Amino acid sequence: MKVLFDQGTPVPLRTYITAHHVLTAYELGWSTLKNGELLAAAEGIGFDVFVTTDTNLTYQQNLSNRSIAIIVLSTTSWPRIQKSVAAIVSAIDAATPNSFQTVSID
């Protein structure tokens, strides 16, 4: 699957997602795109999964018409995310079109 990391998603996480092709919004020159534009652009070029740390995304966007799977990490803290890598990888592996999942990280 093609996985897109949003701006706040720690880039080192990509080294643990070996079964998928991971790119970042920054690498694609999409740093200035807002959530709706970013999701549309990602869907437009065939991304399957969007990983973000924007916990307000569900309140800011109508996600019902999206084909991309969305995974929200509950923190931007890399040391904390690192401890939950297995849960994040499992969420990505299990992602299906138009699905939404929050990975709660302690």
User: What is the pLDDT, as a whole number, of residue 64?
Assistant: 75
Q: What percent of the chain clears pLDDT 90, i.e. is strictly above it?
A: 85
> CB 28: neighbour CB atoms within 10 A?
15
Q: Where are the domains of the chain?
A: 2-103
* Single pTM value for the model: 0.93
Q: Is 8 helix (H, G, I), strand (E, B) or coil?
A: coil
| Higher per-residue pLDDT: 57 or 9 | 9
